[in-house]
Structure 1
Amino acid sequence: MNELRVEGLTKSYGAGEPVLRGLGLTVPAGALAAVLGPSGCGKTTLLRIVAGFLRADTGTVRLGDRLLGGPGVHLPPERRRIGIVPQEGALFPHLSVARNVAFGLTGADRGERRRRTGELLELVGLAGYGDRMPHELSGGQQQRVALARALAPSPRLVLLDEPFNALDSALRAGVRADVRAALRATGATALLVTHDQQEALSTADLVAVVRDGEVAQCDTPQNLYRRPADPWVARFVGEAVLLPGTVDGDGTALTALGPVPLTAPSDGLRAGTVLLRPEQLRLTAPDFAGAVRGTVTDVRYYGHDAMVTVAVEGHDTPVDIRIAGPVPVRPGEETGVHVTGEAALHP
């Protein structure tokens, strides 16, 4: 099995503050996990420790039943059976596409290298490109070649270090989908390091949000978005509407937007922060039953949807409302705001 288990990792550089503070993470065999977090949180340090480029101060790294790093143990990178897809591909400019892919197949004969190279180029959608040079490829094609090169030796784990960062937005989604499909076709376990929330949620089977050297939450993309561990995680993985609320009974919170049903019992918590997503709010007529009045302060149109900001009576901070289709309001107009669905309550 190729399950990745990271336990209790700590790492400091010199006399500075620790970068990793007892970080733990488990990636099931065959899954693609994204490590998401702000700059300086420890994402790249984690990746380099798993790859074998750095030694952890404490903690262990296991891949299946094999200890890669721990007390008294540090396997060098070339013995870990880990493939790496770096930023911007980092292909060898003097080698053809086929020779780039075959670079790691040192133990195979010429026929096996040719067969394996052809299989992988077909897998990443580049069949027939073997004789081209890297400079003849687009950025997205170079990233596909880098993935094929990483997969060529049949690694047990593939590490992807922000591999789509240099691609323009129109190309990025297609390349992400191709990379995910190729990884699933080979059954490799994969770890993607990124700072892009949309990339993590749309690509990975699991998302681990790292904060100050620790995993703040690790869950499926849907659970992470719908049930964030705390308001910080909620804001980091998407827009959030945070409201002070008091519990009325055990299943409802009273807020500036009216009563809001809670996703879970309050467990004795009588007041806290109510967490909603912008798509849970609806624009209505100002006098709509159950709605609160507000004034539109801003409209941001994105084509597929729009974000409308409304200053609500009784709440100091304007709230964001995500709507689909035509925008029915303009800044300065009065509107009503109505809450749909349930909300989480945090201390």
Structure 2
Amino acid sequence: MNALHVEGLTKSYGSGEPVLHGLELTVPAGALAAVLGPSGCGKTTLLRIIAGFLHADAGSVRLGDRTLVGSGVHLPPERRRIGIVPQEGALFPHLSVARNVAFGLTGTDRAERRRRTEEMLELVGLAGYGDRMPHELSGGQQQRIALARALAPRPGLVLLDEPFNALDSALRTGLRSDVRAALRATGATALLVTHDQQEALSTADLVAVVRDGQVAQCDTPQNLYGRPADPWIADFVGDAVLLPATVDPDGTARTALGPLPLAAPPAGLRAGTVLLRPEQLRLTDTDSDGAVNGTVTDICYYGHDAMVTVAVEGHDIPVAIRVAGPLPVGPGEETGVRVVGEADLHA
């Protein structure tokens, strides 16, 4: 089984601060994990160490029962059985599609190379494209061929380095789904490095948020979004409404949006920061029971929904409310705001 285990990984460049600070990460065999974080957090350094392109200062990397990085161990990239899908495909321009896909199939006879190449082209939805040249393909097709090339040698791990960056948003959405399906069809363990929150949450089985060279939280997309470990993670992985709160003995949080039930009241904590998601807030009539009143300061319309910001008394920062369907209010108008569901409290 090809589970990925990264333990205590540390890396510095020159005499500067370490880019990775004892990073820990486990990806179960056959899972697709996304490494998500802001620029400079260490995502690319992690990928390059796993691939074998950089030496770690300390720590270990294991793939199944094989040690790739460890004390006195640094397997060269060609011995790691790792497939890589780089940004923008990076196909060999002088080789046909079929020869690109077959590039890593050394040590197999011609008939097996042809069979495996055709199998991979079928898998990525490009059967019959083998005789074409890379410049005859669209950007999305080139990325599919790059994935087919990475999967052809049956690697123990596939690394995807922000592979959708150069594509337009509509193409990215469809290609993410196709890549996920292809990885699942082969049972490959995969690591997707990205700075795109939507991409990570919609594509991966697990999402590891990296902050200052460490994994701040690794969880399923649903748990990461619904129960983030701290307010920074909450705000980084999605739109968040953060409110200062005091906590009553019965576990109710008192906030600028009124009293709110808590999902898991922390023992002994009497003040903190309440986390809500914009979809938990509702626009209501100004005289509605349980609502607080405010003034609409801005509206950002996205087609499928809109984000309405409302200034409420007792809170310096306008709160964001996600609204689906017709907008009941406009900028400058008074509205009521009501909270649905439980809030999450952080110290």
Fold equivalence (TM over 0.5): yes
The 5 Å alignment of 1:1-347 reads 1-347=1-347
CA apart distance, 1:251: 2.4
Residue identity matched to 1:278 = P
Task: Write the distance in 2 (CA, Å) between the matches of 1:339 and 1:314.
Answer: 16
CA contact (8 A) 1:243 1:256 kept: yes
Q: TM-score, normalised by structure 2?
A: 0.99
CA contact (8 A) 1:247 1:266 kept: no
Q: Per-residue CA shift, 1:55-83, capped at 9, x if unaligned?
A: 11000000011111011001000000000
Counting matched residue pairs gives: 347
Residue identity matched to 2:244 = P
Q: TM-score, normalised by structure 1?
A: 0.99
CA apart distance, 1:211: 0.2
Q: Per-residue CA shift, 1:271-299, capped at 9, x if unaligned?
A: 00000000000000011011000000001
Kindly report structure 1 stretches of 4+ aligned residues shifted beyond 2 Å.
none
Task: Write the distance in 1 (CA, Å) between the matches of 2:330 and 2:19.
Answer: 46
Which stretch has the larger CA shift, 57-66 or 246-255?
246-255
SS at match of 2:246: strand
Residue identity matched to 1:337 = V
CA apart distance, 1:314: 1.3
CA apart distance, 1:315: 1.1
CA contact (8 A) 1:258 1:290 kept: yes
Task: Write the distance in 1 (CA, Å) between the matches of 2:266 and 2:324.
Answer: 32
What is the Cα-based RMSD across aligned positions, in Å?
Answer: 0.5
The alignment-based identity, stated in percent, is 86
CA apart distance, 1:136: 0.5
Residue identity matched to 1:326 = P
Residue identity matched to 1:135 = H
Task: Write the distance in 2 (CA, Å) between the matches of 1:252 and 1:127.
Answer: 59
Residue identity matched to 2:60 = T
Residue identity matched to 1:73 = V
CA contact (8 A) 1:25 1:215 kept: yes
CA contact (8 A) 1:250 1:266 kept: no
CA apart distance, 1:248: 1.2
CA apart distance, 1:265: 2.2
Task: Write the distance in 2 (CA, Å) between the matches of 1:183 and 1:324.
Answer: 34
CA apart distance, 1:266: 1.8
CA contact (8 A) 1:272 1:345 kept: yes
Task: Write the distance in 1 (CA, Å) between the matches of 2:259 and 2:340.
Answer: 10
Task: Write the distance in 2 (CA, Å) between the matches of 1:251 and 1:217.
Answer: 26
